[in-house]
Amino acid sequence: MNFIETRGNDGQLPLEVSFSEAILSPMSSFGGIYVPSKLPQLGEFFLREHLDSSYKVLAKDILLAFEIDIATNVIDEALDLYDAFDDSTNPAPLVKVKDDLYVSELYHGPTRAFKDMALQPFGRVLSSIAQSRNKNYLILAATSGDTGPAALETFKNRANVKVACLYPDGGTSDVQRLQMVTENAENLKVIGVHGDFDDTQAALKALLGSESFNVKLKQQNIQLSAANSVNFGRIIFQLIYHIHSYLELVRQEAITLGDKVYLDIPSGNFGNALGGYYAMKMGLPVEKILIASNNNNVLTHLINKGLYDLRESSVVATTSPAMDILKSSNIERILYDLYGAERTKELMLQLDNEKYYQLSTDELKKLQHIFSADFCNDEEGKQYIQTTFATGYLMDPHTATCFKTYETCREKRLKTIIYSTAEWTKFSPVIANALTGEEGADDKEALKSIAKAAKIEIPTEINALFNKEITQKTIIDKADIEKEILAFL
């Protein structure tokens, strides 16, 4: 299967590219991104056939249905990485929380957040493409917390790929920072930057546009690539777990095959939700996809009013920082799918130039046929963490935002799958505050008090972080990033 461009073709780039091309160079004409030219149809027969399949068997058959240009043995090796998740037979367990509400836990991988679900296999695939082409790639990442650790973990010691990861010094949780600065491999460089996440991201953008930097990369025969969620190599691994969670509901006899369900997804860059949308288009029986946001609620407005508006907004810091995003990159793929390339180009250019766009009434109707949305503020999120804990389920603040959409967006009493995107260990001060009322605890103290309140153990890999040697000590000003990365290369 080939990939085409969300904003049409500029006459310079090829009209279609293979999967591996789309992974290596994710940007397409007019600043657009790549989408599959058509989606495979799985249908009820496929679902029935996989009722008893393990996650890996299901995943492999879905990937094969896409007919991607990746060797079968590489696909196998990529999927084998799920063996290292907590339960090797089921990397994404589905847990009943109450009545018709089930939680699909996507955080059982090495860095304890859902980014591992896609980045683990993606790292293996990208490195193998680089090797087979005998090329060297540099992945530059700016992270506010979860992508950095997951990218470092997956590319650690992999051939033909180097990673330079920038994080805002003081802008991540202790656990997230320790996960990065204790990574020790020759192909990884972690750089703390003075400033906040926006500064870090702006510095990265400036670097990508720097002529001297690009000339030096060329001299050293290094190509740039990206591991962010516009990369389809991540999205393809994100539609699998939606299908898996649905089959889990059937296996648990909560539904019978063919029954519709709600997918309820905590959203930022919309990779997770896009995976759900593609799964639905491929034949998964989904009633609607519920989009949960925090106070950075541009997606709520888009889906409720058809207005994507960045004119007045600036990012506000919330207790669910992985969703503190205003420019949600994967919305572009939805626009393309619903309204076509020409309109997508028009809307995205308007967003760039005028900081907003407004959908027509008909366009909005199409969008609302598939999505409903609401947002959950920090106080409401804290309440959900508290009340849900009282019924015996511990969750993180990102997951908590979905309880709002569960209450306000469902029109039918259908079974609902909430996607849990982080383990409690990654955002412990917020959770400790919700459970015990304590304020200002650092991660270490908060982990202890949650473990005590919930009568559970702190996972060994999290505890070990606090005693691990810090190997990545670079903390610098924005202006010195280019020099630092060139020295690393």
Site residues (vs ligand PLP, CB under 6 A): 113-115, 146, 229, 266-273, 322-323, 398, 421-422
- Using the minimum distance from each CB to ligand PLP, give the nearer residue, 56 or 115: 115
Sign of the torsion angle spanned by Cα atoms 158, 160, 162, 163:
negative
Query: CB 173 → ligand PLP: shortest distance, Å?
Result: 11
Distance CA 475, CA 489 (A): 17
Query: CB 269 → ligand PLP: shortest distance, Å?
Result: 3
- Using the minimum distance from each CB to ligand PLP, give the nearer residue, 46 or 107: 107
With H, G, I as helix, E, B as strand and everything else as coil, classify residue 439.
coil
Q: Residues near 13 by Cβ (< 8 Å), separated by ≥ 6? A: 5, 28, 29
Tokens encoding 324: 């503190």
How many DSSP H helices and E strands does the chain contain? 22, 15
Query: CB 201 → ligand PLP: shortest distance, Å?
Result: 14
Tokens encoding 171: 């802008």
Distance CA 132, CA 143 (A): 29
Query: CB 486 → ligand PLP: shortest distance, Å?
Result: 29
* Residues comprising the chain, all counted: 489
- Using the minimum distance from each CB to ligand PLP, give the nearer residue, 9 or 329: 329
Query: CB 477 → ligand PLP: shortest distance, Å?
Result: 27
- Which helix (DSSP H) or strand (DSSP E) does residue 247 occupy? helix 240-251
**Cα 480 from chain centre:** 29
Phi, psi (deg, nearest 5) at residue 287: -75, -55
Query: CB 63 → ligand PLP: shortest distance, Å?
Result: 19
- Using the minimum distance from each CB to ligand PLP, give the nearer residue, 130 or 280: 280
Query: CB 117 → ligand PLP: shortest distance, Å?
Result: 10
- Using the minimum distance from each CB to ligand PLP, give the nearer residue, 168 or 268: 268
Phi, psi (deg, nearest 5) at residue 168: -75, 120
- Using the minimum distance from each CB to ligand PLP, give the nearer residue, 119 or 284: 119
**Cα 360 from chain centre:** 29
Contact present, 185 and 156 (Cβ < 8 Å): yes
CA distances from 387 to 107, 162, 339, 381 (A): 21, 44, 41, 10
- Using the minimum distance from each CB to ligand PLP, give the nearer residue, 117 or 191: 117
- Using the minimum distance from each CB to ligand PLP, give the nearer residue, 160 or 272: 272
Query: CB 106 → ligand PLP: shortest distance, Å?
Result: 9
